[in-house]
Amino acid sequence: MSKVLIIEDEEAIAELEKDYLELSGFEVEIENNGETGLNRALKEDFDMFILDLMLPGVDGFEICKRIREVKNTPVLMVSAKKDDIDKIRGLGLGADDYITKPFSPSELVARVKAHLARYERLIGSNVQENDIIEIRGIKIDKTARRVWVNDEEKPFTTKEFDLLVFLAQNPNHVFTKEELFKEIWDMESIGDIATVTVHIKKIREKIEMNTAKPQYIETIWGVGYRFKL
């Protein structure tokens, strides 16, 4: 359920707004003072703010400005004077909408719904960024499971990719073949640790300029491998 905070010193108006919004299925809280309203707006999680301009304590201009410094939550500003709306716009406070008193409650509800819907679409469309590791010319996109070496994409098998990611995520740490085998193949007793050697060789062919002098995956003789940072 969407939660709306009304910051309004005229209690009758605040109650009217609350009633109509609750009838439309919103959860509504009221603050009649600018200072407490601002505190709650900053500290608590609301989905929308309905903010009166003239308030005791801190006024609506200041509250809107302070909210915008830390939140993108929609703000609908309410004012008693039409002139104030131009003033609010001119100040560029970041309010999403303005409404003048007196207004019809259904108009208010319609606007709140529209802004919430728009805001939810905005949040929903925020595609999560891919998890990427970049080390000296190598770019590993863990989310898309793709690897580029100096901007050229290289094909990796599943195990080659897992092994490269594991080593790159734990740079400067020497792993024995047994440890790598256990980590990537996850079968302690089955298989051959020589598989690790074969895979390291294949990875090197893709990422190293000179496989005889590896710059990324070093062989630590008698121990194992290390990804050099």
* Least gap, CB of 45 to Ca ion (angstroms): 25
Q: Counting Cβ atoms within 10 Å, is residue 8 exposed (0-12), middle (13-18) or buried (19+)?
A: buried
The nearer residue to Ca ion, 80 or 174, going by C-beta atoms, is 80
User: For residues 66 and 104, what is the distance between their CA atoms, to the nearest angstrom?
Assistant: 28
# residues near Ca ion by CB under 5 A: 3
Does residue 17 interact with Ca ion by CB under 5 A? no
Please tell me the distance from the alpha carbon of residue 65 to that of residue 149, in angstroms, as a whole number.
46
Name residues whose C-beta falls within 8 Å of residue 166's C-beta, 6 or more positions apart in sequence: 180, 183, 184
Q: Which is nearer to Ca ion, 14 or 140 (CB)?
A: 14
Q: Shortest distance, CB of residue 1 to Ca ion, whole angstroms?
A: 27
116 sits near Ca ion (criterion: CB under 5 A): no
Of 63 and 217, CB closest to Ca ion: 63
Using CB under 5 A as the binding rule, whether residue 31 contacts Ca ion is answered as no
Residue 54 contacts Ca ion per CB under 5 A = yes
* From 47, 52, 96, 160, residue interacting with Ca ion (rule: CB under 5 A): 52
By the 10 Å C-beta count (0-12 exposed, 13-18 middle, 19+ buried), 188 is classed as exposed
Residue 25, SS3 per DSSP: coil
Check binding of 16 to Ca ion (CB under 5 A): no
In the complex, the residues that contact Ca ion under the rule CB under 5 A are 9, 52, 54
